[in-house]
Amino acid sequence: MAKIRVYELAKKLKLSSKDLMNMLAELGVEVKNHMSTVNEREAKAVEEIVSEEQSPEEDTEFTGEEEDSAKKVKIRKQKTKTAGDRDVDLQKGKKKPKKQHDKKHPHPQEKGKEDEIQKTAEIGEKITVKDLADVLGVPATHIIKKLIPMGIMAAVNQNIDGEIAAAIGREYGFELVVKKNETEMDYLAEEEDPAKMIPRSPVITVMGHVDHGKTSLLDRIRETKVTEQEAGGITQHIGAYKVKIGDREIVFLDTPGHEAFTAMRARGAQVTDIAILVVAADDGVMPQTIEAINHARAAGVPLVVAINKIDKPTANPGRVKQELADQGLLLEEWGGDTIGVEVSAHTGEGIDELLEMVLLVADMQELKANPDRNAVGTVIEAKLDKGRGPVATVLVQKGTLRVGDSIVVGATYGKVRAMTDDNGKRISKAGPSTPIEVIGLSEVPDAGDILVVTEDDKTARHIAQERKERIRTSILKSSQRVTLEDLFNQIKEGKVKDLNIIVKADVHGSVEAVKQSIEKLSSDEVRIKPIHSGVGAITETDVMLAAASNAIVIGFNVRPDSKAVQMANNENVDIRTYRIIYDAINDIEAAIKGMLEPKFKEVVIGKAEVRATFKVSSIGTIAGCYVQEGKIQRNGGIRVVRDGIVIYEGKIDSLKRFKDDVREVLQGYECGLTIEGFNDIKEGDELECFVSQEVPR
């Protein structure tokens, strides 16, 4: 923040240094002499006081720079006396009413009889200095003077907290009542009338491994249960649709994939009631299947297993059931509590039974909603249409949404101009568990944002602005994620009882070893809970799950890809990578005990891709590289990563640009290098250059 000397500020304001020092003393700013400095905020406060005290009428009475300056000083002294007249008058044994400023700053409430002054007023949670001054009937400079001892350097048009404003008001004999602004949470927390609760349709999301038949299953359900009802078929881009079974309905979200599933959960939008896990009978449980199971468990959503492709000759449903049991998912026929159905998306076999089982699980959950309240829903997807403007696909969860309703959706607002259902038909209202397209928003919302109906446009606009401010604040203020460094403090404060861990390793054996070793570290204060594990590099999906579950990612002999690193930085997810299993165990154990003291932190300074290799008998294998990020430094460590797995870690032996030895090569340039004691370099390998930095504790 820029600083200015007292004499310079005095010259700027056309005051003497002595007068300015007196003014600063009155404001509680300590200055020793005319060479002392004041910061930008203090200078701004003084400038506003002087400018406020210099009325145009008084300024025009004088000509000449010297006379003008003298008059301004006189005026300031008069005003200062008014501000501190209580102390001066006490010395004289008198108490004078504040009348000088009333002539210059008449207040509507102070016109006429003084005994009729209104001593109570209502203000918002935020109020500008100027507005507060108007309410109290005093100059804004007086408010600024009151704020300075509180450590608040506010300008005339700056907002101050309502509670602070109320405290200042009491000094002037006013009782200011802070009116709480209606927020989105007030509408979400609207009390439900049990008598008005009626059963609603369940909302289903389909999850599973790639090529296990998720899309085929959805297409078969649409074909058999939707197109037979609607000749025109279904509007594909709506993102959600209804399936009718007898006199009941099931809502399917056309957002398969656990990434979208977890992303919505991370935003606090729990829209799915039941998840269908699709597993191919000829392929069995795969890595993405395990991820889907873990995502469903993290969300607390019941699973119905659909064992697909039973029509294939190589199908083996028994093996699938065994593999599911190994993952802790025991089917009912094996004595568990998870419903499993054998289906064929190709022939349609088992589809009816699957839908019936979904309804059975829904009945066990007793899904109900009140249609006679303000609507609440969740955005499934959103887009900007050239002809219609912002269009949001919304699943109504509570209440009934009607055309003409004022709505707020996340950080945007608007009025419902039109609605279309999943068949593209215009409708005037939509009840619980109804997927619709909404037109009439001011901006395109984000997927997962909550839609809420408000009383009027003004309230909707206010809530949207409040959410924008909250989002802006959250971006500036890093979110409080669990890290090993602050784990002990959070445990002491009672913030952490379960420490969620995601484990990734190069081989399955290492995964199990790390999981078992970490689980043994659980204590009375904190329980170590591995929520997901897998083989291979740390991916975006892992980081997304960690962000949603407030987990720490442990990598053993594996590395995060660039997208995962970027997301981890954005979401403040703690990723720890190790080469030795005991280092991971020791770090977590030390963190729980509050004795984690890492002396050095590894910092990746650059990444390069091997694009060619050259074998020289006297030297070894030379890697021709292209630097993709940062820089490659000769005195740094080097790590060889192949398919996300660390295969070697060592030092750079030599680094060259053409024929010249160089200390470093920057991003966008090519280079040649050799690695000390390692010649098994292949094209396509990724090289990570890193240095160790001391971590201050």
Read off the pLDDT band of 669 (50, 70, 90): very high
**What residues have CB less than 8 Å from 629, skipping those under 6 apart?**
562, 606, 607, 667
pLDDT at 224 over 60: no
**Which position has the token pair 């008998």?**
617
Of the candidate ranges 377-381, 470-474, 530-534, the one whose mean pLDDT is the lowest: 470-474
Q: Is 461 exposed, middle or buried (0-12, 13-18, 19+ CB in 10 A)?
A: middle
Question: What is the overall mean pLDDT for the chain?
Answer: 77
Contact (Cβ atoms closer than 8 angstroms) between residue 92 and residue 98 = no
First to last CA, the chain: 28
Query: pLDDT (tens digit, 9 = 90+) per residue, 93-143?
Result: 444 444 444 444 444 444 443 443 457 777 777 788 888 888 888 888 888
Cα dihedral 57, 63, 69, 72, rounded to 10, equals -10
Question: Residue 232: its pLDDT value, please?
Answer: 38
How many whole angstroms separate alpha carbon 466 and alpha carbon 406? 16
Residue with token string 């005037």: 428
What is the pLDDT at residue 53?
A: 64
C-alpha pair distances (Å), 537 with each of 174, 286, 642, 646, 685: 64, 16, 10, 9, 14
pLDDT at residue 637 above 70? Answer: yes
Rounded distance between C-alpha atoms, residue 458 and residue 453, angstroms: 12
Q: List strand residue ranges (DSSP E) for 446-525, in order.
A: 450-454, 498-505
Lowest mean pLDDT among 304-308, 339-343, 494-498: 494-498
As a whole number of angstroms, the longest Cα–Cα distance in the chain is 108
Please name the residue that has the structure tokens 């210099």: 54
The residue assigned the tokens 């050095």 is: 600
The burial of 600, by beta-carbon neighbours within 10 Å (0-12 exposed, 13-18 middle, 19 or more buried), is given as exposed
Tokens encoding 226: 């939707």
Tell me the average pLDDT across 553-576. 87
Structure tokens at 666: 């920057």
pLDDT top residue among 83 and 255:
255
pLDDT score of 697: 46
Q: Which pTM does this prediction carry?
A: 0.50
